[in-house]
Structure 1
Amino acid sequence: MEPSDTGRPSEVPNMSVDWVGYGYSALVASGGIMGYVKKGSVPSLAAGLLFGGIAGIGAYRTSQNPKDIWVSLAASGTLAGVMGMRFFKSRKFMPAGLIATASVLMVGKIGVGMLQTPHEP
């Protein structure tokens, strides 16, 4: 970018906010909080806040650079596997099935984004 007459860059970089990623992060964190409030489960609270925070960092990084998907992919992929196994063992949709479904959808969103992002030669 070359500066204009005012000394500012002539082009503003196109930054899109990863709203889906932030929503997913909030869902995971609130699920951990609800597990603590309803059942007094400290592990649910810790895991929800940990993975919600990691997903939030991933959403922030993706918002800064759409090609920087690895933190988001790691968080959603891990939760898809762990919560998917819990859902298949318990057959209870709440909370394991919900988080597993949201995580699989998030992995799919990231995959579609990877296919649509232009690659440099």
Structure 2
Amino acid sequence: MRSPRMSLDWIGFGYAALVASGGVVGYVKAGSVPSLAAGLLFGSLAGLGAYQMSHDPKNVWLSLIASGALAGVMGMRFYNSGKFMPAGLIAGASLLMVGRLGLRMLNRPHEP
């Protein structure tokens, strides 16, 4: 059961939906099964990470790993292709998530 102080990580869930929908769009437009598989895998990992952070705001590791991996992979695809859609969009969103999670890690209270 959720405590009254706990809030959902809406940004994390939105990011997960963006990643998953990007995989679905890649499949529908180009018939790319790897895009579908990667989008659903990383979208699911990001969604699970957002769920974990909703229950424990200090539990950022799964979200950080998923968004960091996507930032690297899609950043390289954007660099090599120069195409903003979809690689640049996902790389940018992933980079923002990495920054957000990094700030969350730096600003969390230290336990004795």
Highest relative contact order (Cα 8 Å, sep 6+), 1 or 2?
2
Aligned residues: 110
More helix by share: 2
Query: What runs of 5+ residues in structure 1 fail to find an aligned partner?
Result: 1-11
Q: Partner of 1:6 in structure 2?
A: none
- CA offset at residue 111 of structure 1? 0.8
Q: Which of 101, 108, 112 lines up with 1:110 in the alignment?
A: 101
The residue type paired with residue 77 of structure 1 is G
The residue type paired with residue 25 of structure 2 is M
Q: Distance in 2 between matches of 1:72 and 1:92?
A: 25
The residue type paired with residue 88 of structure 1 is Y
Q: Partner of 1:60 in structure 2?
A: 51
Instruction: State the TM-score, normalized to the length of structure 2.
Output: 0.95
Q: Partner of 1:8 in structure 2?
A: none
Query: What runs of 5+ residues in structure 2 fail to find an aligned partner?
Result: none
Equivalent positions of 1:1-121 (< 5 A) are 12=3, 14-121=5-112
**Larger-Rg structure:** 1
CA RMSD of aligned residues (A): 0.9
Residues 81-117 of structure 1, C-alpha deviation per residue, up to 9 Å, x if partnerless? Answer: 0000000000000000000000000000101111221
Identity, in percent, stands at 71
Q: Distance in 2 between matches of 1:71 and 1:111?
A: 13
The residue type paired with residue 35 of structure 1 is G
Q: Distance in 2 between matches of 1:108 and 1:38?
A: 31
Residues 35-92 of structure 1, C-alpha deviation per residue, up to 9 Å, x if partnerless? Answer: 0010010100000000000000000000000010000000000000000000000000
Instruction: Please identify runs of 4+ aligned residues in structure 1 that moved more than 3 A.
Output: none
- CA offset at residue 13 of structure 1? 5.2
- CA offset at residue 27 of structure 1? 0.1
